[in-house]
Amino acid sequence: MTKLSVNINKIATLRNSRGGDVPNVVEFAKDVQRFGAEGVTIHPRPDERHIRYQDARDLKPEVYTEYNIEGNPIESFMNLVLEVKPTQVTLVPDAVDAITSNAGWDTIKHKDFLVDVIKEFQNNGIRTSIFVDPILEQIEGAKATGTDRIELYTEAFAHQYSLGIKDDIAPYIESSKLANSLGLGINAGHDLSLDNIQFFKENIPGLLEVSIGHALIAESLYLGIENVIQMYLHKLK
């Protein structure tokens, strides 16, 4: 069984655009769990342009499924995670001004740094996962850091799949087989959607969790908007 963790960053983006508290990210997190989601993911960035650090604190008592906090382990992020103590922390090497995550860790180059960070989180009872590209050497490097899991960065797969090219799943299959043999848990995320998720899941052995935000929220606008319009019309009659 692969767990679905819903990334709610886009809900915070929508809230922040008006400066108020609608939609409320805590209530949304409670709702997605009530609707069946098996986890909630947030990715606070230093400029707090969507999820704010206070959101991470406010969500803690309300997330009774998997609570996953993603981010670059700068000092402020590490302090936040150590304070909140989520189920899992996913380490992502994105720049401060990155629009979205766009690369996995070089686990060989940054091994010593990752070892220290991962040990700190694990010593505080927080499961660790690190964002990696589907490259066998990087999977082996991830094992050497002591991480519990890896999160396969799936943008390249999703792009090729949208073009009708399915062969690009191959490096993900090989990477997952290696990760399984090394005892690493496997997560995945980035541009996974209703169009490609089943194909990906069926081909990746041992896939434990997917974190999906942008696509899921965008799809919900279309698949749910008809119901909302009908509700408005009913109330206006």
The domain spans of the chain are 3-236
| Cα–Cα distance, 76 to 205 (Å, whole number) | 35
Mean pLDDT value across residues 204-228 = 89
Is 219 among the residues known to form the active site? no
Mean pLDDT value across residues 13-22 = 95
Is 159 among the residues known to form the active site? no
Is 190 among the residues known to form the active site? yes
Residues 140-193: tens digit of each pLDDT: 999 999 999 999 999 999 999 999 999 999 999 999 999 999 999 999 999 999
What mean pLDDT, rounded, does the chain reach?
A: 93
Structure tokens at 180: 């399984």
Please provide the CATH number assigned to the domain covering 3-236: 3.20.20.70
Residue 50 annotated in ligand binding: yes
Q: Of the listed 66, 70, 151, 209, which one is catalytic?
A: 70
Q: Of the listed 43, 66, 151, 209, which one is catalytic?
A: 43
Residue 45 annotated in ligand binding: yes
Q: How confident is the model at residue 100 (pLDDT cuts 50, 70, 90)?
A: low
Mean pLDDT value across residues 228-232 = 72
Q: Dihedrals φ, ψ of 209, to 5°?
A: -155, 140
Those residues whose C-beta lies under 8 Å from the C-beta of residue 126, and which sit 6 or more positions away, are: 81, 82, 85, 86, 87, 88, 89
Residue 57 annotated in ligand binding: no
Residue 164 annotated in ligand binding: no
